[in-house]
Amino acid sequence: MKILVALDVNTYSSKIVKDVARLAQNTLADLVFLGVQNGTDELDQTLLSTLMRYQQDIYSYFGRDELPYAEISSEKWSKTGKGDWSVSSKGMKEFTLRILAGTISKQVVQAATDMECDLVILGCSKEFGCEWDGEMNVPLRIAEDSPCSVLVIKQSRKSDQIVSILDQSVVNQDALEMVNQIVTINDAGLKIVGVKDKNEDKESEIEKRMVELLTYYNEREVHAWVKLINSENVKEYVTNASREAIVALWMGGKQSLIKRLFSKSMIDQLLETSKSSVFILR
Closest CA to 269 of 105, 109, 139, 119: 139
In terms of phi and psi (left: phi > 0; alpha: psi -120 to 50; beta: otherwise), the region of 221 is left
Stretch in the footprint of another protein (CB under 8 A) among 22-30, 43-51, 155-163, 192-200: 22-30
**How do strand 277-281 and strand 149-153 relate by DSSP bridges?**
antiparallel
Cβ partners under 8 Å of residue 241, min gap 6: 163, 191, 193, 247
Selected binder of another protein within 116, 160, 212, 236 (CB under 8 A): 116
Selected binder of another protein within 25, 103, 113, 204 (CB under 8 A): 25
Stretch in the footprint of another protein (CB under 8 A) among 45-53, 126-134, 169-177, 204-212: 169-177
Q: Minimum CB separation from another protein for residue 227, in Å?
A: 23
Closest CA to 122 of 240, 187, 35: 35
2 forms part of the interface with another protein (CB under 8 A): yes
223 forms part of the interface with another protein (CB under 8 A): no
244 forms part of the interface with another protein (CB under 8 A): no
Give the 3-state secondary structure of residue 111: helix
170 forms part of the interface with another protein (CB under 8 A): no
Closest CA to 233 of 186, 198, 282, 278: 198
Selected binder of another protein within 42, 127, 201, 219 (CB under 8 A): 219
Give the 3-state secondary structure of residue 254: coil
Selected binder of another protein within 4, 6, 29, 111 (CB under 8 A): 29
> Are 147 and 109 within 8 A, CB to CB?
yes
CA distances (Å), 99 to each of 61, 65, 143, in order?
Answer: 24, 29, 20
Q: Minimum CB separation from another protein for residue 9, in Å?
A: 29
Selected binder of another protein within 174, 197, 205, 244 (CB under 8 A): 174
Closest CA to 99 of 50, 142, 60: 50
Selected binder of another protein within 10, 89, 155, 181 (CB under 8 A): 181
Selected binder of another protein within 14, 113, 155, 180 (CB under 8 A): 180
- As a whole number of Å, the end-to-end CA separation of the chain is 14
30 forms part of the interface with another protein (CB under 8 A): yes
Selected binder of another protein within 173, 199, 202, 223 (CB under 8 A): 173
What does the binding site for another protein look like in residue numbers (CB under 8 A)?
Answer: 1-2, 25-30, 66, 92, 116, 118, 173-174, 176-178, 180-181, 184-185, 219-222
